[in-house]
Amino acid sequence: MAYVDWRITGPELTACNCDWGCPCQFNALPTHGDCRAAVAMRIDRGHFGNVKLDSVIWLGLFAWPKAIHEGNGEVLAVVDDQASAEQHDAVLKILTGQETEPGATIFNVFATTYTRVHPPEFRRIEFEADIDKRIGHVRVPGLIDMQVEPIHNPVTGAEHRARVQLPRGFEYREAEYASGTVKSGDPIPHDWAGRHAHLCQLDLSPYGPPA
């Protein structure tokens, strides 16, 4: 099947309510039984067909009552209000798993697990990420504040670095692991501190990350 030619590359921040490491990354069940997450990306270079996506920022808020693969999840997509209507439409098609080989991207996989999809929102998104330093933040006034920092040794306070490679990952091939604190409001409230986070350079097309 032929898909619309698209590609997005740029830094991504992810934080979830699981303990550091996130069992999902190892095909295990979530730490606390449910899965809640916030994911954001700045597209440094991207396109969807003839629509350029450079500098567009997007955010996703997610919640599942059990493990992701058990379904009954809900999602809210937010796209930067500084983007054009054409860019909004293009990004939402990517985030909802359209124009994608089945199972090739995290967006396409997740799309099969939702029973509730909230109407997308278009708001100003503040995004900063330094993958090497393992720091970043995402803010949307009145909706979410997400902070990411290095994991620290509980005895010495020194930064603890963990880098994970997933050669067949449908989100990333390599990510820096970190510690995340998230607080968000309706329609998908989140509230946790010092839980799993990771930073990576996302590079996705209709066929997933490059080999």
- Give Cα separations from 113 to 74, 96, 110, 116 (angstroms): 8, 11, 5, 9
Predicted confidence (pLDDT) per residue in 35-82, tens digit: 999 999 999 999 999 999 999 999 999 999 999 999 999 999 999 999
Q: Does pLDDT of 211 surpass 90? A: no
Buried b / exposed e across 76-100, counting CB within 10 Å, b at 16+?
A: bbbbbeebeeebbebbebbbbbebb
- Average pLDDT for 16-21: 97
Domain ranges of the chain: 6-204
Q: Is the dihedral of CA 16, 22, 23, 27 positive or negative?
A: positive
Mean of pLDDT over the chain: 97
Q: Where are the alpha helices (DSSP H) in the chain?
A: 85-95, 106-111
**111-148 pLDDT, tens digit each:** 999 999 999 999 999 999 999 999 999 999 999 999 99
Local structure of residue 122 (DSSP, 8 states) = E
Residue 2 has what pLDDT? 87
Q: What is the DSSP letter of 120?
A: P
* Rg for the chain, CA atoms, rounded: 16
* Residue 151 pLDDT > 80: yes
Q: Please tell me the predicted confidence (pLDDT) of residue 208.
A: 96
pTM: 0.95
Confidence of residue 1 (pLDDT cuts 50, 70, 90): confident
Cβ neighbourhood burial of 27 (10 Å; 0-12, 13-18, 19+): exposed
